[in-house]
Structure 1
Amino acid sequence: MRDAMVLKAQRFVNSVYGSRIGTTVPESGEADWATLYALTRALQYELGITALSDNFGPTTLNTLTAKYPQLDADTVPSPDFCRILQAGLYCKGYDGGDLDGSYGARVQTAVTRLKTDMGVEQALPGAGLTPKVVKALLTMDSYVPGASGTGQVRAVQQWLNGRYLDRQDFYVIACDGLVTRDTVKALLFGVQYELGMADGTANGNFGPGTQSGLKSHPVTKGDKGVFVQLFSAGMVVNRRPAALTDTFDSSLAAAVRAFQTFAALPATGEGDFATFASLLASFGDQSRPAGACDTIAKITPSRAASLKAAGITYIGRYLTNPSATSLPEKAIQPGELATIAQQGLRCFPIYQTVNNDASDFDYVAGRTAGYAAVNAARDHGFRRGSRIFFAVDFDAIDTEITARVLPHFKGIKEAMADSGHPYRIGVYGSRNVCAQVGAAGYSTASFVAGMSSGFDGNAGHPLPQDWAYDQFVIRTLGSGDGQLEIDADIASGRDTGQGSFDRPRPAVPDVALDERQVPALRADLSRYMQSIGRPDTGGIGSDARLYSNAQAVAAIQDQDGLITELSKTYTMRKALIQTAVYWAMRDYGLAAQSADQQVADHHLTGSGSVRDSHTGIGEISASDAIQAWNHCIGWGFTTGERRDPAKDADLWTVWQQLNKDNAFSVRTAALIHLWGTRGRPGGRLPPGDRVTTPRSMRLDLVEFEITELLRRYRAWDPDVESQTHQSLAVYQIFEKYNSILRNA
């Protein structure tokens, strides 16, 4: 909301300091970081600091402390210096006077109120400003209750400020009742200070020294003092029904017992180390026993014995491995689930490709992930009703969760619905990610990345209510053949994995399409294409598309005998050919039709300037076709006449075959994929092509290789990345029906 005094502050800093500090701010009347950064630079200028910065760092603080350890009516050095302070008060919502450069009664009242709101009025009595308070003044932190803040949290924040502000590395934290990373870090500083750590040693991290010291300070019913205050503060910041107190009474004991039950700790009602640790860090007590784990190691009988000896029942294993070369045991291996079942253990499946950056997530990727996970889970033999945990393996902030992660899980949920809800959906990620995905209705249980205590999505966020597994430490178990490394997890019992499995579906060749499956295939494709804005009809002008979903499926069905033959001949999944043809047909529009006409005009009448275009049901250029055929002839994949793409006659001959002969186009599409496994030598590659030594064609290509082949097929397309991204779900839909038939 536009504020007249904030506007006045912005005009002040622009007019007086704009040329001096090298920046001006928008005069919006709304407090923002740009304004506070400018005020920080203005303060640095007044302090004589020459290397100006947006950061109110050690140099600024030390210089201010040395020159003006207390700023008040008697010590403020100049009117403009005072106006900087007044402008800061305006941005915080306090009455800074008339921006007159006078540290008068209104300013003094505002400063007193500010310090009261911060909780430091007793530690810093009077109407003066100390350097740390000035530093806090020039931030966006709020010291009044936030809309969704609580009084209990605000009381903790004020208490921490008032008790520890005089310590070297402790700075004023917000007092808005909202738990943040700063709140948790301040609480940890408090623990360290009370344990006797010196300034410079205390760092706000829950490290070995802090853990060791805390083990000597359990609290229980009847205890009083500062450690009870710290413990109760931990309960408050974890959103438990408690209040800051210095007395461990029966109500606190009851709240503790409820928390312990929720967090799968022994329900003693006492503030022991394990409970204190769970309140202070997302990983908690890393020495506690684990009932579950996740691992990239294959579970063999000897490794299963090591797991059982460690008390582990539930094992998280990966459905797929995005890499063909690294972490060879990451994905579930042949016979592994049978071993798990025989040893009396249970497995919960995890789906993760890359998923470690916001750019890996969106609605389309979610649809693809949902289809791919279902296909892989069925291949391994997971029975209907199992829960698949989809990974968000990075520290997603709120804007990324809203813009990327939630649409991604919407896509997963819709893909699961399209598949008939064979599996339940779980989410792996930070506490914040898990809570938000669950609240949106996209998951039914959480696998929390609690070991990553440095994640903003963990610090200041409570354990989600629907947590099933909580990852808290890396351990090496067993020895010799039984040795393996695991991520140890606490299990809540909300998910129990699976202890018996259907027969795995082997990687056998594809078979002919069953006509009875075609209506369902057509419906799945139609729903997906509509969900990404490609309905059966649509587009205007040159963007109009000429082939419907039904026509594209019919063309593929008509060529199914040939596609099946090519699949067997080249040890190639039918879905690679089907996807290339389907996507090409659905992408073919008036602009492509016009280009085809220009090619015909060039070769027939000499009136056109276009020698070649991507044509036919596979949208393949004659040049690409010639190069693919030439190379495949040379490699012994096929026979035929070598042609020269530089010759118009050869281009025209091949172009007509592509344009008029669907079978030739389909055969050429397969050869282009084979050419792609060799890196398309001599041909055009997509920008940023990532695989330099692809494996040869095979039935068990990993997802990354499939992606690369589809990218290379469309190397001619300026939108190759987005087109490939969208076509991956089409591949998984075709693979769904192919896999059903070949394993019938």
Structure 2
Amino acid sequence: MADEMVRLAQRFVNTTYNNGATLGISKLDENGVTGWPVMYALTRALQYEMGITALSDSFGPTTLATIGSKYGKLDETTVPSANFARIIQSALYCKGYDGGEIDGKYNDRVKAAVEKLNQNMGVSATYPGSSLWPKVVKGLFNMDAYVTIGGGSDTIRSIQQWLNGRYILRKDFYVIPCDGYHSRDVAKSMLFAIQYELGMADGTANGVFGPGTQSGLKSHTVSNGTTGVWAQLFTAAMILNKRNVPFGNFTSTVQSGVQSFQSFVKLPVTGNGDFPTWASLLVSYGDQSRPGTACDGVTMITPPRAQALKTAGYQYIGRYLFNPSTTSLPEKQIQPGELATIKEAGLRCFPIFQTWSRSADYFSYNQGTSDAFKAIDWAQYHGFKPGTIIYFAVDYDAMDGEVTEYIVPHFRGVMRTIGENSSYGVGVYGPRNVCQRIADAGYSATSFVSDMSSGFSGNLGYPMPTNWAFDQIATITVGSGTGSIEIDKNIASGRDTGQGDFDPGGYTDGVDVDLDKDAYQAPMLTDVKNYLESIGVPETGGDGWTDSDWATLGGISTTKAYELVLSADWLFTSLARQLKLRKALIQAPVLWELRKMNPLDVAADEAVKAGLDDDCSTGWGQIFAWVTIDARNYCMQQGIINGSPLTDDDIPGVWKDLNGDPTYNIRSVAYLTVYNAHQLNKPRPSLTTSLADTQALLARYNGTGDDAAQYGRELIGLYNVLESYNQLSRSK
């Protein structure tokens, strides 16, 4: 929301500092919106006015020290110039305080604002009055809030203020936000506070959960009746982990909350704030010395290793379904005979699926769909039984915005595919925030938490996910000699116990694979174009299109239709493998319908969108919603896919999916192909369906009668072209 005084602050920077050139930045947008660009600009302006030559967005040690050495504190007696005062006034407005008229005066309105700022930060007892001390200035020139913001907790805010007020004079402790939210800065401030209370000197205290901090905490167990600062720190840590206890003394209410927390994270239920409990509250990995009963790793489980793990108390082993690399970590993927070894040792296995998944741009709805199909394929190959939960990896420190934009849609694709096409369950591997967000979205049954990555922003400041199954806390070596194996030690909650028995598994011979595009994309396109031209379908136009319509409405050329089909080759392959049929049987009608779209199709879509009609053939495969409903319901009845039966009431939603989601449309083409075999009273399509039956299925895609028969005759030629190159790819 725009604010006029923020706009005036932006104008002040632009007019005073040569549109940012003096500060080494671009001209600010004068939009009245507070954000990092204006805070960075004001920070640089402050540095400039103090004579710092190496200007920076960061309000770092040099800026902080310069304020202290030059002025001690900032007020009406020390502010050196009108522009210096205007910078402070502008910063106050950008933080939501009344900074006066940006007139260069440290006036009564500025003083009142500074007093309020100090109170909101919780430092007014240390810094009474209306002066700005260096650390307060540092807190003013950032985007931290010092009032409870939407959805924040007033109790957490009071803890943040308490921490600021108690420790602000310590060298390395800076003002933390007082917004009612746990965060990375708050988590680190808690560690600093504990180190200070343990007696660590400035320069020794570093906010890291190291050996000295751990040793000190082992002698500071708190329990029912404990009062004072250690009780305050402990109850603060409980509250920051979303435990509903009062801040302050260790009471019987706190004891009950501790017992509940200990039970949740699988610690011994003592009701006391002992070291393991402190550790689990302060860092994501907790007490790394505690025993685990689960593990995961990239090394094959041989009989000696299985025995070593069992002797060490392990019951559940996480292993990878697939390894896209042929050279890196050669035993990462489950190896032949390995699951039999796990079973014979009385151990259980939970499967993990990961290809790359280490940056935001990997994740998308389509990638989730693709990963899910591959995971189903590999899980069946290895012999995992129905009911197995497969853990899909998010193996990097995803920011919350990236979770929203990339990872949630990715898992929507995973869940939709796993749910529709298998009897497996979906789990997520990743930082705490990722796991909880995916659980809250309804896209995972359980979480495998990457808590060893304690520095991840998605772990710092976030409590353990409510549906956690495995908690990864340390890398260790178990066993010796031939039984030696490096593993990641995990704590198991019991929500998932993996699988202890497996089906024979193995692939069906002759199933389709992705097209070898390097070898066949170009010649395949040439043969597709030649065939279509031979039956009267040119590269562009035709079939009811005028040249004007083609240009205006965006007709699809043969080349473009082919490229679209190739862009979804992964999906055609996945569906063909899942349904055990030839992918050309799905590709041919989709390619044809894309190429043959005409003005009537466009008009029909617009009529449904405008509410003038309730259904029409639409999307890549030009399918009616009612036909899709019949096809999907049939496939559900046959146990081919999962889902709830659809009715005519679902037509609007199904049509919208067909029109707007090519993935849904292509899947529906595949299911319609299976349904059409039923309607023709022919065997379900397979890898060995005859050409005569294939032609009949293609004809049925267009209905019945002479037009449908002609459709079949035209498409069988296109099918043959596509199948010839698919066969070459799978023969490699």
TM-score bracket relative to the smaller structure: 0.7 to 0.9
- Structure-2 change in CA distance of 1:79 and 1:546 (3 Å): closer
What is the correspondence of 1:262-273 to structure 2 with a 5 Å cutoff? 262-273=264-275
Q: 1:663 and 1:36 mapped to 2: Cα distance?
A: 63
Residue by residue, what CA displacement relative to the aligned partner does 1:258-312 show, whole Å, maximum 9, x if unpaired? 1101111111110011000000100000000001111111112211111112111
1:312 is aligned to: 314
1:447-481 CA-to-partner distances (Å, cap 9, x unmatched) read 11111111110001110111111101001000011
Structure 1 partner of 2:104: 101
Q: Which runs of 5+ in 2 are unaligned?
A: 513-544, 598-715
- Do 1:356 and 1:393's aligned partners in 2 also have CA atoms closer than 8 Å? yes
CA distance in 2, matches of 1:273, 1:91: 43
Q: How far 1:414 moved relative to its partner?
A: 1.4
- Separation (CA, whole Å) in 2 of partners of 1:508 and 1:581: 18
8 Å Cα contact 1:542-1:589 kept in structure 2 = no
2:113 aligned to 94, 110, 115, which one? 110
In the TM superposition, residue 320 of structure 1 has moved relative to its aligned partner by 1.0
Aligned match of 2:4: 4
142, 146, 163: which is aligned to 2:145? 142
Change beyond 3 A, Cα 1:394–1:584: farther
SS class of match (2:477)? strand
CA distance in 2, matches of 1:445, 1:668: 41
Aligned pairs for 1:463-502 (under 5 A) are: 463-502=464-503
1:493 is matched by which residue type in structure 2? Answer: G
- Is the 1:374–1:422 Cα contact (8 Å) retained in structure 2? no
Shift of 1:426: 0.7
Q: Is 1:216 paired with 2:229?
A: no
Q: Is the 8 A contact 1:232 1:244 kept in 2?
A: yes
Aligned-pair Cα RMSD in Å: 3.0
Question: What is the rounded CA distance, in whole Å, between the counterparts of 2:181 and 2:583 in structure 1?
Answer: 49
Asked if the contact 2:584/2:722 (under 8 Å) is kept, the reply is no
Taking the aligned partners of 1:28 and 1:177, their CA distance within structure 2 comes to: 28
Question: 1:231 corresponds to which letter in structure 2?
Answer: F
Query: Mean alpha-carbon deviation: is it higher for 68-77 or for 139-148?
Result: 68-77
Deviations 1:487-533 (A, max 9, x none): 1111111111111122222x563389xxxxxxxxxxxxxxxxxxxxx
Distance 1:126 1:452, change over 3 A: same
> Aligned with 2:185: secondary structure?
helix
Which whole-Å CA distance do the structure 1 matches of 2:492 and 2:264 have between them? 11
CA contact (8 A) 1:121 1:162 kept: yes
- 1:285 match: 287
Please list every run of at least 4 consecutive aligned residues from structure 1 whose deviation after the TM superposition is greater than 3 angstroms: 538-542, 544-549, 573-593, 659-674
What CA deviation, in whole Å up to 9, does each residue of 1:365-403 have, x standing for no partner? 111111111111111111111111111111111121111
Q: Hey, what does 2:347 align to over in structure 1?
A: 345
2:236 to 230, 233, 237: 233
TM-superposed CA distance for 1:207, in Å, is 2.0
User: CA distance change for structure 1 residues 669 and 576 in 2, over 3 Å: closer, same or farther?
Assistant: farther
Matched, 1:173 2:186: no
CA contact (8 A) 2:510 2:730 kept: no
Query: What SS class does the counterpart of residue 80 from structure 2 fall into?
Result: coil
TM-score when normalising by structure 1: 0.71
Shift of 1:353: 1.2
Corresponding position of 2:403? 401
What is the letter of the counterpart of residue 555 of structure 2?
Answer: S
Secondary structure at the aligned position of 2:161 is classed as helix
Q: How many Å separate the matches in 1 of 2:338 and 2:390?
A: 17
Aligned partners of 1:359 and 1:580: how far apart in 2? Answer: 30
**SS across alignment from 1:542:** coil
Cα distance change of structure 1 residues 52 and 548 upon mapping to structure 2, 3 Å threshold: closer
Hey, what's the Cα distance between the residues in 1 that align with 2:181 and 2:397?
20
Match of 2:329 in 1: 327
Q: Alignment partner for residue 67 of structure 1, among 66, 70, 90?
A: 70
Which residue pairs with 1:629 in the alignment? none
CA 1:661–1:457: 2 relative to 1, 3 Å: closer
Preserved CA contact (<8 Å) 1:577 1:670: no
Task: Identify the residue that residue 443 of structure 2 maps to in structure 1.
Answer: 442
Deviation of 1:575 after TM superposition, in Å, equals 11
Aligned to 1:431: 432
Q: For 2:291 and 2:587, how far apart are their aligned partners in 1? A: 51
- Cα gap change, 1:589/1:205 in structure 2, threshold over 3 Å: closer, same or farther? same
CA contact (8 A) 1:546 1:586 kept: no
Aligned partners of 1:112 and 1:661: how far apart in 2? 78
Partner of 2:460, secondary structure, is coil
Give 2:159's aligned residue.
156
AA aligned opposite 1:187: M
Unaligned runs of 5+ in 1: 513-537, 557-562, 564-572, 594-658, 675-696, 698-744
| Equivalent residue letter for 2:370 | T
- How far residue 580 of structure 1 moved from its aligned partner, in angstroms, is 7.5
Preserved contact between residue 452 and residue 458 of structure 1 (Cα < 8 Å) = yes
Residues 577, 666 of structure 1: 8 Å contact kept:
no
Percent identity over paired residues: 52
Q: 2:637 matched to which residue of 1?
A: none
Helix, strand or coil for the counterpart of 2:352? Answer: strand
Structure 1 residue 323: Cα displacement: 1.1
1:128 counterpart = 2:131: yes
SS for the counterpart of 1:85 is helix
Change (3 A) 1:184 1:334: same
Equivalent residue of 1:543, what SS?
Answer: coil
Q: Is the 8 A contact 1:367 1:408 kept in 2?
A: yes
By how many angstroms is 1:586 displaced?
Answer: 3.8
Whether 2:3 is the aligned partner of 1:14: answer no
2:416 partner SS: helix
Determine if contact 1:544/1:589 at 8 Å carries over to the other structure: no
Q: 2:198 aligns with which of 195, 200, 212?
A: 195
* C-alpha displacement of 1:49: 0.8
> Which whole-Å CA distance do the structure 1 matches of 2:302 and 2:380 have between them?
21
Counterpart amino acid of 1:131? Answer: P
Shift of 1:17: 2.4
Map 1:213-612 onto structure 2 (within 5 A).
213-245=216-248, 247-419=249-421, 421-505=422-506, 507=507, 509-510=509-510, 541-543=554-556, 583=587, 586-587=590-591
Spell out the pairing of 1:646-725 with structure 2 (5 A cutoff): 666-667=723-724, 670-671=727-728, 697=732
Q: Give the partner amino acid of 2:510.
A: D
Q: Deviations over 1:577-636 (max 9, x none)?
A: 95589658744688899xxxxxxxxxxxxxxxxxxxxxxxxxxxxxxxxxxxxxxxxxxx
Over 3 Å counting, the alpha-carbon distance change for 1:293 and 1:511 in structure 2 is closer
Deviation at residue 77 of structure 1 after TM alignment: 1.4
Distance in 1 between residues matched to 2:207 and 2:133, nearest whole Å? 23
Indicate how the Cα distance of structure 1 residues 584 and 269 shifts in structure 2: closer, same or farther if over 3 A, else same.
same
The superposition leaves residues 73-92 of structure 1 with CA deviations (integer Å, 9 ceiling, x where unpaired) of 21111222111111111111
> TM-score normalised to the size of structure 2?
0.73
What letter matches 1:429 in structure 2? G
Distance 1:36 1:379, change over 3 A: same
Distance 1:661 1:487 in 2: 52
Q: Distance in 2 between matches of 1:576 and 1:50?
A: 69
Rounded to whole Å, the distance in 2 between the matches of 1:168 and 1:341 is 57
Q: Is the 8 A contact 1:546 1:588 kept in 2?
A: no
Measured in 1, the distance between the counterparts of 2:173 and 2:88 equals 22
Inter-partner Cα distance in structure 2 for 1:281 and 1:136 = 25
Retained in 2: the 8 A contact 1:304–1:343? yes
Structure 1 Cα separation of the partners of residues 97 and 474 of structure 2? 46
User: Could you tell me whether the CA contact under 8 Å between 2:558 and 2:595 is conserved in 1?
Assistant: no
